[in-house]
Structure 1
Amino acid sequence: MDIFQAMRVFVRVVETGSFTAAAQALGYSTAQTSRLLSELESSLQARLLQRSTRRLALTEVGMRYLERCRLILGEVDDANAEAGGAHLIPRGHLRVQSTTGIGIQLLAPLIAKYTDLYPQVNVDLTLSQRQPDLLEEGHDVVITLSAQLPDSDLVGQQLGSIYSVISAAPSYLQKHGIPQTPEELSEHRCLHLIDPLFTDSWTFRNEHSEQSIRPGEVFRVNVAEAMAKAAESGLGVCLMPDYVAMGSYLSGALVRLLPHHRLHEKSIYALYPSRRFLDAKVKTWVEFLKIEIPRMLEEHQAIADDPAHWA
């Protein structure tokens, strides 16, 4: 008896609800299907299905065995797909998890371009402020921020570096003046971005000293895009990642303050499982990002460093 063949018969009989339907789906005769299931039960010395003339019902043992069979057959199918060319042809569902800001500002605009290049790939993008367990939650690639490569068993590819910029709306600056030094920020309404990837303090460092500013309580939010909207309304001075501020600089809704300072510098990493046969959709996605993300970040830096967008 071919144990994998017998497992597939068992799973298909359960899914279709009959030996006849399972036999038709698998290309067997009904007699072959029935015989294979009987041989499987004999080898296990356990009854998997209760049979009657009207219906089939899983036994308690059968329910547990069904779950294991699906897991095992899934692994077998993955192995066969890799051997059959999944590592050569990008196709299937690419499950990507990313921090919210990077997903909205960097990844979402690139997905159309990637799928134009690889039309057999469908992208599922999940946004979250936390870093998930990639293997347990079923993601293919995680895009995250870190000061250095996270210590894990995953493969990590650096995609570029970002930093945070200080910004305010022209309407706020007209009322309250333009701070010229970090020390002067203590006289302003500083908005608080709550993000586990960034410290609560705004720390300015140079070769001679270090100055830290604690943002206030007047407005606290955990998503940088919401922070940008609040700052655009004239609520106060904000510190947020450069990729979030760029659109507001271009529209004139925000201007950059203290432009010679960069805070909270971090690297963007793509993390994925180490496999001998790396799935083509993962490989091409990461290679695509290694080209496109630096290009986008270079454009952002040019905008942030343009005096036309400074206060």
Structure 2
Amino acid sequence: MDLQAIRTFCRAVEAGNLTAAAKALHITKSVASRRCQSLEDGLGVKLLARNTKGVTPTDEGALFYERGIRILDDVEDAAQAVKHTSDNLVGTLRFTAPRSFADLKLGPPLMAFAQQHPGLKLEMNLTDERVDIIGGGFDLGLRIAPELSDTSLIARKICDIRHHVVASPAYLEAHGTPKTPEDLKDHNCVFYSNVEAAKQWRFGTGNNARAVRVTGQVTSNSGLMQLAAAVEGVAIATLPDFFLEDAVRDGKVIKLFEDVPRAPSYLYALYPERRLLPLKVRLFIDFMADWFAVPENHCEV
């Protein structure tokens, strides 16, 4: 039985359409379609129900998918056993990560990991936009969020990411200093467009959790642009620790409401569910978790 056909079929089931499956496997849609058709012809059963929105597995297809994933995992495990050791990884690791976080924090650990595994190619997709990890054909993704809604993905927490509300001394002198989060309703705030409920800033945890609705002039999908709005005295911003180290140290912004912290977020490693996690993925995640567990590498101001 053709392993490429099985791999293409499983990717199509995961992505929900042949176009995304083909893109993930770096083949054309017509090749993906032929592989799935040849698999169905060889088995003598219909595995995929095709419609204008994409593909869904039939009952037989769902059963074959579960077995097919195990076959692919076993093949991957066998290949790793004969080709790889933890000191001699080969192949390519494709992952996605938030660009702002990568630019400011991921350079040293990524280069250290690359030096530790010179035979492994690292292919990075760095963007602050939400990425379809399965449909994009990535081995894993790093994501910062207070909680995750991707129920189809396995998540491992790497480290805590604290957020702070900050403003410049010039802004506070001109507009006054808000004493409580509720006072923000009378101030100009800058928003991050890549998150849901961007104008609802959450404070506290547990029974003390509350949301404060804020308004403002500037909205951006760039954390650096939000920081610029705060540093230049245009608005009050809420930003993760890793954006604020230099600005806080140099006195360009001042942290507000430290006695009422923002609700926490976390850096997660996300990867598709597999019975056997590829060695390159496991070692990469372990490396990142170990790196950010070291106090001097913490993402805290």
- Report TM bin, short chain: 0.5 to 0.7
Change (3 A) 1:296 1:246: farther
Preserved contact between residue 162 and residue 268 of structure 1 (Cα < 8 Å): yes
What secondary structure, in the 3-state scheme, does the structure 2 residue paired with 1:171 have?
helix
How many Å separate the matches in 2 of 1:198 and 1:107? 27
Mapping 1:189-204, distance limit 5 Å: 189-196=188-195, 199-204=198-203
Quickly say closer, same or farther: Cα 1:97–1:78, change in 2 above 3 A: same
- Partner Cα distance (2:84, 2:200) in 1: 47
The one-letter code sitting in structure 1 at the alignment partner of 2:294 is R
Q: CA shift at 1:237, angstroms?
A: 0.9
Give 2:164's aligned amino acid.
V
Does 2:168 align with 1:169? Answer: yes
When residues 287 and 229 of structure 1 are mapped into structure 2, their CA distance, relative to the original with a 3 A threshold, is same
Instruction: Letter of the 1:98 partner, please give it.
Output: A
Which residue of 2 is the match for residue 53 of structure 1? none
Residue 82 (structure 2) aligned to one of 81, 84, 92: 84
* Conservation of the 8 A alpha-carbon contact between 1:114 and 1:288: yes
* Distance across 1 between alignment mates of 2:117 and 2:32: 38
Whole-angstrom CA distance in 2 between matches of 1:264 and 1:208: 10
Cα distance in 1, alignment partners of residues 144 and 251 from structure 2: 28
Superposition map of 1:6-25 within 5 A: none
| Distance 1:144-1:137 versus aligned 2 partners, 3 A rule | same
Partner of 1:288: 287
Q: 1:135 to 1:193 in 2, by over 3 A?
A: closer
Distance 1:159 1:297 in 2: 15
Query: Using the alignment, how far apart are the partners of 2:185 and 2:203 within structure 1?
Result: 13
Report the CA distance shift for 1:86/1:236 in structure 2 as closer, same or farther (over 3 A). Answer: same
| Contact in 2 for aligned 1:87/1:278 (Cα 8 Å) | no
Distance in structure 2 (CA, Å) of the matches to 1:112 and 1:197: 32
Deviations 1:67-125 (A, max 9, x none): 749x99xx798576334233643222211111333323332332112112222222222
Deviation at 1:64, TM superposition (A): 5.2
Map of 2:214 onto structure 1: 214
Q: Is the 8 A contact 1:134 1:140 kept in 2?
A: yes
Normalising by structure 1, report the TM-score. Answer: 0.64
Distance 1:130 1:197 in 2: 12
- Secondary structure of 1:253 counterpart: coil
Cα distance in 2, alignment partners of residues 198 and 242 from structure 1: 20
Q: Is the 8 A contact 2:191 2:218 kept in 1?
A: yes
Instruction: Give the percent of matched residue pairs that are identical in Structure 1 and Structure 2.
Output: 22
Q: 1:297 to 1:162 in 2, by over 3 A?
A: farther
Structure 1 window deviating more from structure 2 (251-260 vs 76-85): it is: 76-85
Corresponding residue of 1:179? 178
Query: Could you tell me whether the CA contact under 8 Å between 2:76 and 2:278 is conserved in 1?
Result: no
**Matched residue type, 1:213:** R
3-state secondary structure, aligned to 1:110: helix
Deviations 1:208-263 (A, max 9, x none): 784613131x1111111211122111112111222222232123322211222222
Please give the residue correspondences for 1:1-311 in structure 2 after superposition, counting only pairs within 5 Å: 68=35, 81-86=79-84, 88=86, 89-148=88-147, 150-196=149-195, 199-205=198-204, 210=210, 212-216=212-216, 218-295=217-294, 299-301=298-300, 303=301
- Whether contact under 8 Å (1:198, 1:264) holds in the other structure is no
Residue 143 of structure 2 contacts residue 267 of structure 2 at CA under 8 Å; is this kept in 1? yes
Q: Which amino acid aligns with 2:186?
A: E
2 CA distance for matches of 1:237 and 1:169?
A: 8
**Cα pair distance change 1:159/1:299, threshold 3 Å:** closer
TM-score, length basis structure 2: 0.66
Aligned length: 239
Checking the alignment, whether the CA contact within 8 Å between 2:161 and 2:299 is kept in structure 1 is no
Q: Distance in 1 between matches of 2:210 and 2:279?
A: 47
CA RMSD of aligned residues (A): 3.4
**d(CA) in 2 for partners of 1:189 and 1:259?**
19
SS at match of 1:263: coil
C-alpha distance in 2 between matches for 1:298 and 1:78? 33
Seen in structure 2, the aligned counterparts of structure 1 residues 106 and 68 have a Cα distance that, compared at 3 Å, is same
Q: Where does the alignment leave 5 or more consecutive residues of structure 1 unmatched?
A: 8-62, 304-311
Deviations 1:16-53 (A, max 9, x none): xxxxxxxxxxxxxxxxxxxxxxxxxxxxxxxxxxxxxx
Cα distance in 1 for residues equivalent to 2:152 and 2:226:
35
Give the drift of 1:170: 2.1
